[in-house]
Structure formats: C-alpha cells, structure tokens
C-alpha cells in the first residue's frame, strides 16, 4: 500500500544487547497456523 516492495527487520542492535529468538520462524508460523485452525476455522 505504501509503494515499498518489502520491509525487513534488522535485529542487529537487539543481538548486540544479548537478545536471541526463543522460537524459530518455521516453528512460529506452524504454531500460529495450528492455533488458528483450532480457534478460528469452523
């Protein structure tokens, strides 16, 4: 909608502070999908 083809998140500063993701993207998407199926699809 704003003309930007894609946006990327840069976590460089977060990692410099010691942050690490607790869930992989693959697992996060799978978990969200399963939750959606269980709670929203009728």
Q: Please say if the pLDDT value at position 37 is more than 70.
A: yes
Reply yes or no on whether the pLDDT at 1 is more than 80. Answer: no
Residue with tokens 């976590």: 11
Does residue 42 have a pLDDT over 80? no
How does residue 24 score in pLDDT terms, banded at 50, 70 and 90? very high
Residue 22: DSSP 8-state: S
> Quick one: pLDDT at residue 15?
94
Alpha carbons 23 and 42: distance in angstroms, whole number: 28
Among 41, 13, 35, CA closest to 23: 35
Residue 37 sits at the vertex; the CA angle it makes with 9 and 27, to the nearest 5 degrees, is 40
Residue ranges per structural domain of the chain: 11-40
Taking alpha carbons only, the member of 3, 1, 22 closest to residue 11 is 22
* Mean pLDDT of the region 3-14: 87
């Amino acid at each position: 909608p704003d003309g930007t083809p894609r946006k990327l998140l840069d976590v460089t500063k977060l990692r410099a502070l010691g942050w690490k993701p607790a869930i992989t993207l693959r697992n996060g998407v799978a978990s969200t999908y399963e939750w959606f199926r269980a709670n929203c699809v009728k």
